[in-house]
Amino acid sequence: MGAGVDPWSGFEGHERVIVARDEDTGIGMVIALHSTVLGPALGGTRMNAYAGASDPHAAAYADALHLSRAMTFKNSLAGLPHGGGKAVIVADPRERTTELLHAYGRLVSTLEGAYLTAGDVGISVADLDVISQTCPWTTGRSPEHGGLGDSAILTAVGVLAGLRASLEFALGRTGVDGTSVAIVGLGKVGGRIAEHLAAEGARVIGYDPDPQACERARDQAPGMTVAGSLAEVLDADVDVLSPNALGGLLTPELARTTSARVVCGAANNQLAEPSVAGLLAERGVTYAPDFMVNCGGVIQISAEHAGGTMETARAQAEAVALTTRQVLERAQSLGVTPVTAAEQQALERIREHRARTGQVV
C-alpha cells in the first residue's frame, strides 16, 4: 500500500480485508469480506490500474471496501445464501498473464471458501477459467469448465425487470413501448439492455467511449441513436437514464438537471456521493438502487456454485421486479429514499438470519 494510506480507514463493518502483492510482478491485490452472516461472501474481481488516482493502491482499497459492502446488500435483497465480498487486482487488464491469474487464485484459496470469486470489470469468463485452475472457489466459468457462462446475460435480465417495475411505479406504464431511454455504457450488459429495449419499442440513445462497443450495440439494437459524447447522452430529453459503465455517474449536478424520471442501470456505485439519493428524491426522480437491480449476475453464479440451472437462475433474476416494487413502495410509505429502503430491507433479512441461527458475527 502507499505510504499515505491508513490501513484501518473504512474497515469498520468489514469482517476481513486482505492486502497482498504478487512477488513476481509486484502487482497489488485486495480482497474485502464485508459479511458472511448469510453464507460465504460472494462477489466479483475487478482488474483496474486506477491510472488517474494519485495513489492507485489506496483507490483500489477504497473501491474494494465500498463494493463489498454493496455486495452484502445485493446478495441479501436477492435472497441468496451469501454475504458480500469483492476483490481488486491493481493492474491494467492488458497486463494480465496466466501467472498473475494463478497467483490471484492462490490468494483466494487461502480463505478456504469464505469468499467465492467471480468476474467484474476487467475480468472475463476466460480469465475465470484460468483462475479456477488454482482456486476451486471460482464461479462465472465457461460451460466447458463447469460453469454457466457469461453472467452479463442475467445481469441484463434483472436490470430490465427493475426498469419495467420502476417505470410502472413512477409513470404508470406497463411496458417500455414508446419510452425514451438514455444508456451510458454499451458493453456486455448495456448492449444487451439496449437490444431488449429497442426490440420492445423503446427509443434508445446510447453512448460508450469505445467505438467497437458502439458498433456492436448498433448491430444489436437497430434504430438506436449513438451519441457522440457523454454530454450529449446525458443532455438528451428522456424518460429513463440507465448507467451501465463505471460508478460515480450520478453527481449532484446531474441529479439537479437530468430530464429522466427514472434512473435504473447495472453500474455499481452510481451515486457520486450519498446525498445524490436525496437530491433525486426531492425532484421526484425514481432511483432504482444499483445493488437492488444488478443482482442477476450474482444470482447466476450462486446457482452455478450450487449446481443449479440457467432456467431457475433466470426466474430468480426476473423476480427483481417484485423486489423493486416492494422497495419503492416502502420508500414512499416511510418517506425515505429508495437507497435507504433497500438497505433496510436487506439488513432485516440479515438480522433475522442472525437471530434465527444465533450467529455472533
The three grid cell numbers given for residue 305, joined into one nine-digit string: 456454485
**What is the C-alpha separation between 13 and 33, in angstroms, rounded?**
10
The three grid cell numbers given for residue 127, joined into one nine-digit string: 480469465
Instruction: Determine the residue type at 43.
Output: G
SS3 for 41? strand
**What is the C-alpha separation between 132 and 278, in angstroms, rounded?**
42
In the chain, DSSP finds a helix count (H) and a strand count (E) of 14, 11
SS3 for 206? strand
Question: Which residue carries 466447458 as its cell?
Answer: 144
| Cα Rg, the chain, nearest whole Å | 19
End-to-end Cα separation, the chain, in angstroms: 28
Contacts of 176 (CB under 8 A, 6+ apart): 163, 164, 167, 197, 200, 201, 202
The three grid cell numbers given for residue 123, joined into one nine-digit string: 475480468
84-122 burial string, b = 16+ CB within 10 Å, else e? Answer: bbbbbbbbeeeebeeebbbbbbebbbebeebbbbbbbbb
The three grid cell numbers given for residue 91, joined into one nine-digit string: 493492474
**What is the C-alpha separation between 111 and 40, in angstroms, rounded?**
10
Catalytic residue set: 86
In angstroms, the Cα distances linking 84 to 119, 138, 225, 285, 298 are: 14, 15, 37, 28, 10
Other beta carbons within 10 Å of 207: 25
DSSP annotation of 271 reads B
